[in-house]
């Protein structure tokens, strides 16, 4: 009798504990496309494609009008629709239109539907031939972007 009561107690406790776990949505999207201003490596108008490789970790690459870039993202929640911290590389221009490249951290806010914007810091790596000769490079720059994202 004692064993029966203990067995029923353990089954009841385990069912109660497992009922607290939320099942994962199998329809959850794991990739996204972002289009906006200063997206895609700091391009005037650009895009980024992000591929999630785990619940919180994603990689992104992008490009646009005279620029390209990439980054490693850490999502604050296990979803492509969540905000994240990122380390990014920006390359603005190519060839004779190359202005500069930079690397730095940023915080990217993602709304529940489509809005996204980011703010961060950029540390310049090098200047190119299109960099203004009368402009002095600062050691740290503010980086920002705004756009819309579409999970797929």
Q: Where are the domains of the chain?
A: 29-151
Dihedral angle sign, alpha carbons of residues 59, 87, 38, 75: positive
3-state DSSP assignment of residue 10:
helix
Query: What is the pLDDT, as a whole number, of residue 26?
Result: 59
Asked if 81 contacts 50 with a C-beta cutoff of 8 angstroms, the reply is no
What gap in Å lies between CA 56 and CA 45, rounded to an integer?
27
What gap in Å lies between CA 50 and CA 39, rounded to an integer?
12
**Segment 130-149, tens digit of pLDDT:** 999 888 888 999 999 999 99
94 or 85: whose pLDDT is higher? 85
What gap in Å lies between CA 23 and CA 133, rounded to an integer?
58
């Amino acid at each position: 009798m004692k064993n029966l009561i203990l067995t029923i107690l353990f089954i009841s406790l385990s069912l109660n504990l497992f009922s607290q776990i939320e099942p994962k949505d199998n329809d959850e999207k794991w990739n996204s496309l972002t289009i906006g201003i200063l997206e895609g490596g700091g391009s005037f108008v650009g895009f980024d494609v992000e591929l999630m490789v785990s619940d919180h970790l994603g990689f992104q690459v992008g490009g646009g009008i005279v620029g390209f870039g990439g980054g490693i993202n850490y999502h604050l929640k296990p979803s492509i629709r969540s905000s994240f911290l990122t380390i990014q590389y920006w390359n603005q221009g190519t060839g004779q239109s190359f202005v500069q490249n930079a690397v730095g951290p940023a915080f990217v806010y993602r709304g529940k539907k489509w809005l996204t914007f980011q703010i961060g810091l950029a540390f310049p790596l090098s200047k190119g031939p299109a960099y203004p000769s009368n402009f002095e490079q600062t050691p740290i720059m503010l980086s920002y972007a705004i756009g819309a994202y579409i999970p797929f």
